[in-house]
Amino acid sequence: MADPANAAVAHPHQEKFHALMLGAIGVVFGDIGTSPLYAMREALHHARGGGASEAAVLGVVSLVIWALILIVTIKYVVFLMRADNKGEGGTLALMALAQRFVAHRSAWVLFLGMLGAALFYGDGIITPAVSVLSAVEGLKDAPVVGDRLTPYVLPISATILIGLFMVQSRGTAKVASAFGPITAIWFLTLAGLGLVHISDDLSIFRALAPHYGVLFLIDNGFLGFIILGSVFLAVTGAEALYADMGHFGRAPIRAAWLGLCLPALILNYLGQGALVLAHPEAVDNPFFRMIPEIAYWPVMLLATAATVIASQAVITGAFSMTQQAVQLGLFPRIDIRRTSETQAGQIFVPQVNTFLMIGVLILLFTFRNSSNLAAAYGIAVTGSMFIDTLLFYVILKHMWKRPTWQAAGLAGFFGLLDVVFISSNLLKIPQGAWLPLVLGAILVLIMWTWTKGAQILSEKTRRDSVPLVELTEILRARAPYRAPGTAVFLTSDPAIAPVALMHNLKHNKVLHEKNIVLTVVTAETPRVREDDRIRMEPIDDDFKKVVISYGFMESPNVPRALGQIRKQGVKFDIMATSFFLGRRSLVPSAQSGMPLWQDKLFIFLMKNSANPTDFYKIPPGRVVELGTQVTI
């Protein structure tokens, strides 16, 4: 007989696990859950004879099912989710983890992280456009009124997407609570529609055998290679399993995928295949042809809700990616606002939101239908997945200490799958796949320019500055006038005297009673324990070095962190403290180490970065800015 006390303890844990599973279904699997709206249609359209032949249907369904098994289940669920950075996943988290083990070759690891982040933004623009548009296009097949509603598909899609971006500033906590139940109902609907139509032609179960997919590719030759690009649409969103691991945990995501999402998707694709075998005319839009007339509008509305949820998950992911990129030094400081006092992941980034909204609307009115957009979709996701594979090789070899042949064998198998799908999607460049590549190249250029420029500026500042220890000895010999209170000097290099300190001494000829040389650093972990937040090192009676550490998923709050130094015996009163910031006016130079145009780009990024006062949450009334001109 079970112990009631143990049962009582286990019950809350079980409830929490189920809640995390439900949340994962809503946020993690929203994107991949909307793929049945268009993946089968696009793959069959590219097959010979319109895709209604038995060989084409069995081949496409087989390829879709085995893509879900090999890429999503085996690559991500079984293997990649084991490579976590303190529980967090995603390209930048994986990059930060890999950099710990290959410091001597970190430049190429950093570049891979940049490329993965850039491609993610491409995905973030295309996903909302193609998902919402593919659902609203169901109006064209609506019973009785379909023809009359067709002209309104584009305006309705644009209205939904604009509304979605407009509500981002209010936070998504309340809306997100409904994501799980709605998406769970959506997956059950997918499974139900599939089950209803599998009986149309039970021979569709032959598609579970992988050789039908292989025979289909061989029979179609080069055309089969093109079709793979459309088949890949069935697994777009797979990278979200890994990226959102920190929000829900490995076990709930795996349980949600294996227990509901994967079976529902397989049943739906089998049902679409059986429908096309029995009714070849359904090949033009098999998903919406599955829906019984009596249930058409409820399913149509549910599909639209599911695509909005999928879009929301990508937008939220773009905000989180931006925060990580800023903290890791890949982007300049940017305005990041918290929309919840209790949930760390609830943030809003106005500039990114505007950028995504403009990009989505341009896509919508340029490509005009989901079939055209689908051509641009796969390349961003395949590229992102390939980068995950390359970084996974680093983890296998350097972190998990696997022999080279084992690491290369496993990563090589997944890499081969990725390369095949990338190559197939590259063939779609004339049809629109150029867009995420161009966008990715621009973002990589911005990130590379920012990191390279910041490095050049840091080296120049170090060359032109006085070591802090040397300055303290000079001040001991010639003591300046002492002002009451505490001065905090922010600097990126605690070993040298901050620019603001030197200017204060040079022009104001004054030194405060207590001086803190403060450096804010980003750890290669998602979060830093409060006990490890502050490190303090006394230099002499006048100066103390303080280092505040934040994880790459945390937002800095300097005054709150400095409050902790009271525990170390240092009196800190925010109203008796002045924060000195050095503001540098940059002048481009052809001898900087970067081309002149890149110097100008770096200066533009520097001028448009967020004010450090706002970024570090320092009260504006306590800030003194001292400027200097620097040639880079």
Burial class (CB in 10 A: 0-12, 13-18, 19+), 101: middle
CATH number of the domain enclosing 111: 1.20.1740.10
- Same domain, residue pair 410 and 278: yes
Q: What is the DSSP letter of 90?
A: S
Secondary structure of residue 523 in the 3-state scheme: coil
- Same domain, residue pair 513 and 447: no
Q: What is the DSSP letter of 524?
A: S
- Within-domain flag for 4: no
- CA 351, CA 325: separation in Å to the nearest integer? 14
Domain boundary among 451, 485, 515: 451
pLDDT in tens, 181-235: 999 999 999 999 999 999 999 999 999 999 999 999 888 888 888 889 889 999 9
CA of residue 498 relative to chain centroid, distance: 35
Helix, strand and coil content of the chain, in percent to the nearest 5, comes to 70, 10, 20
Q: Which of 211, 277, 266 is nearest to 33 (CA)?
A: 266
Domain boundary among 393, 427, 451: 451
- Same domain, residue pair 283 and 361: yes
- CA 39, CA 373: separation in Å to the nearest integer? 12
- Within-domain flag for 351: yes
- Same domain, residue pair 471 and 427: no
- Within-domain flag for 315: yes
pLDDT number for residue 3: 46
pLDDT number for residue 344: 54
pLDDT number for residue 16: 82
pLDDT number for residue 10: 45
Where in the sequence is the domain holding 304, given as residue range(s)? Answer: 16-451
316 within 8 A of 172, measured Cβ to Cβ: yes
Burial class (CB in 10 A: 0-12, 13-18, 19+), 454: middle
- Same domain, residue pair 228 and 128: yes
Structure tokens at 268: 């739906």
Structure tokens at 188: 């059950």
pLDDT in tens, 340-371: 655 555 788 999 999 999 999 999 998 888 88
- Same domain, residue pair 396 and 259: yes
Residues of the chain with pLDDT under 70: 1-13, 49, 103-105, 146, 172-176, 340-345
- Could you give the number of structural domains in the chain? 2
pLDDT number for residue 172: 60
pLDDT in tens, 416-445: 999 999 999 888 888 888 888 898 899 999
- Same domain, residue pair 405 and 546: no
- Within-domain flag for 278: yes
- Same domain, residue pair 488 and 439: no
From residue 504, give the alpha-carbon distance in Å to each of 311, 499, 576, 629. 50, 9, 18, 15
501 within 8 A of 630, measured Cβ to Cβ: no
pLDDT number for residue 503: 84
Secondary structure of residue 235 in the 3-state scheme: helix
Which residue, chain included where needed, has tokens 């790459």? 552
- Within-domain flag for 544: yes
- Same domain, residue pair 480 and 447: no
- CA 451, CA 463: separation in Å to the nearest integer? 19
- Within-domain flag for 21: yes
- Same domain, residue pair 445 and 520: no
Sheet harboring 481-490: ordered strands across? 534-538, 543-550, 510-522, 481-490, 577-587, 623-631
DSSP string across 414-436: HHHHHHHHHHHHHTTGGGTTHHH
Domain boundary among 390, 421, 451: 451
- Same domain, residue pair 288 and 363: yes
- Within-domain flag for 86: yes
From residue 545, give the alpha-carbon distance in Å to each of 110, 491, 518. 29, 10, 6
- Within-domain flag for 458: no
Give me the amino acid identity at 324.
Q
- Same domain, residue pair 57 and 145: yes
First to last CA, the chain: 76
**In this structure, how many other beta carbons lie within 10 angstroms of the beta carbon of residue 218?**
10
pLDDT number for residue 406: 93
Q: Which residues pair with 519 in a beta bridge?
A: 547
